[in-house]
Amino acid sequence: MLVAIQVNLALGDKEYDAAKTHMRCVTDLVTKAGGLQSFGYTQWRHTIWNDLKLASALLERPMLEYGLRLESMNCTFPPEVNSEAHRLSLETVRMIPTSDTLTSEMAYDLFNRLHQLCLSFDTTLTEEAHFLAVENSFYTVVYQLCNSIADSQSHTECSDTDMLVLGTQLSTWMCMPSLVNMRALFNTVINTIQSKLVYRIWNGLKPDLIIQWESTAKLDSLLWIMFQASSAAISVCSTGETWMPSYMLESFLTTTRQVAMRLQIHSLAHFEKTLRKFPYSENVFGDDCRMLWTQMGLDDTGAIDGMVSPSSMIIEQM
């Protein structure tokens, strides 16, 4: 479908108005064809991900209706992945902020899928159904989060649950380069999407963020969000493909350091153990974890000697 190729080219050139125009044409063609189910697998795949790339880059709703392929709908992960994801998800939900727009039930479903995905990166998958389950879960998670983020754009402030949703979407897009069989679908827009999400999270960094977060959730969850944002900011700055001011990166590093100190995390092993309570893959995030720990400069004694009181946990004003 030539018009679908035009969407991808416009996205790669950051011509978002043109990409939206082309995507509206694609949406009309999908409707006239009888829906996404009438498409072959390759055509379906490129169509849905062009839509989700555009929605993710603009923090808007997808234009297409959700349309998981019927023949792969029942594909699932290996039993050991499912059981461990269930255990981890129950633990995760106990530590995150929830609201009317992100209830505990909704959060469990979301994080169960994300835990399955991250566990699958550290597991040897042997069946075609497992790989289809990976792609289906990515599609479902990104689609749901695009809608949630679009709804939050009407908020004057970035709430705790808004930050959680943004951090979760960022985590999902941080995993994309590891999807070898899907990398070509994303390589032109990953940095753009990550930078847009990082900018939005940065807007939620307030002087009383840590104290406020402690009143509604466990700080462990804020550490996971700051880890995602800091790692993405470092990645965006290092590639140079998308401009980002250095003070934004410093703000993330400062906040991540403050949260780690508040949690009395004084070693890399402890840092990684805390992150593993949330969706985490050694193969995807291991290098970022070690790099960020080094960047923060928290050695075994510094984190303890440098411990500060909650009232002094102030985000640096840049």
DSSP-derived secondary structure for 216-268: TS-HHHHHHHHHHHHHHHHHHHHH-SS---HHHHHHHHHHHHHHHHHTT--SH
Does residue 292 share a domain with residue 173? yes
pLDDT of residue 182: 61
CB atoms within 10 A of CB 194: 27
The predicted-structure confidence for 202-247, as pLDDT tens digits, reads as follows 999 999 999 999 999 999 999 999 999 999 999 888 776 667 788 8
Residue 275's contacts (CB-CB under 8 Å, 6 or more residues apart) are: 223, 224, 227, 285, 289
Q: Is 131 within a domain?
A: yes
Does residue 24 share a domain with residue 99? no
pLDDT of residue 177: 76
pLDDT of residue 13: 82
Does residue 58 share a domain with residue 72? no
Residue 134 three-state SS? helix
Q: What percentage of the chain reaches a pLDDT higher than 70?
A: 88
Does residue 114 share a domain with residue 213? yes
pLDDT of 183 > 70? The answer is no
Does residue 96 share a domain with residue 57? no
Domain end position, chosen among 43, 67, 91:
67
Q: Is 116 within a domain?
A: yes
Indicate the range of 38-47, 132-141, 171-180 predicted with least confidence.
171-180
Rounded to the nearest integer, the mean pLDDT of the chain is 87
Pick 258 or 5 by higher pLDDT: 258
Q: Is 173 within a domain?
A: yes
CB atoms within 10 A of CB 140: 15
pLDDT band at 112 (very low <50, low <70, confident <90, very high): very high
Domain of 57, in residue numbers: 1-67
Domain end position, chosen among 23, 40, 67:
67
Q: Is 188 within a domain?
A: yes
Q: Is 318 within a domain?
A: no
pLDDT of residue 291: 94
pLDDT of residue 303: 38
Domain end position, chosen among 9, 37, 67:
67
Q: Is 317 within a domain?
A: no
- The type of residue at 215 is S
pLDDT band at 304 (very low <50, low <70, confident <90, very high): very low
Does residue 94 share a domain with residue 42? no
Q: Is 193 within a domain?
A: yes
Pick 16 or 118 by higher pLDDT: 118
pLDDT of 18 > 50? The answer is yes
Does residue 17 share a domain with residue 82? no
The predicted-structure confidence for 28-48, as pLDDT tens digits, reads as follows 999 999 988 888 888 898 899
Residue 114 CA neighbour count, 13 Å, CB half: 31
pLDDT of 305 > 70? The answer is no
Does residue 256 share a domain with residue 234? yes
| Class of residue 181 by CB neighbours under 10 A (exposed 0-12, middle 13-18, buried 19+) | exposed
pLDDT band at 302 (very low <50, low <70, confident <90, very high): very low
pLDDT of residue 186: 64
Does residue 77 share a domain with residue 56? no
Does residue 284 share a domain with residue 241? yes
CB atoms within 10 A of CB 85: 23
pTM: 0.89
Does residue 160 share a domain with residue 20? no
pLDDT band at 314 (very low <50, low <70, confident <90, very high): very low
The count of domains in the chain is: 2
Does residue 164 share a domain with residue 300? yes
pLDDT band at 127 (very low <50, low <70, confident <90, very high): very high
pLDDT band at 79 (very low <50, low <70, confident <90, very high): very high
pLDDT of 308 > 90? The answer is no
Q: Is 33 within a domain?
A: yes
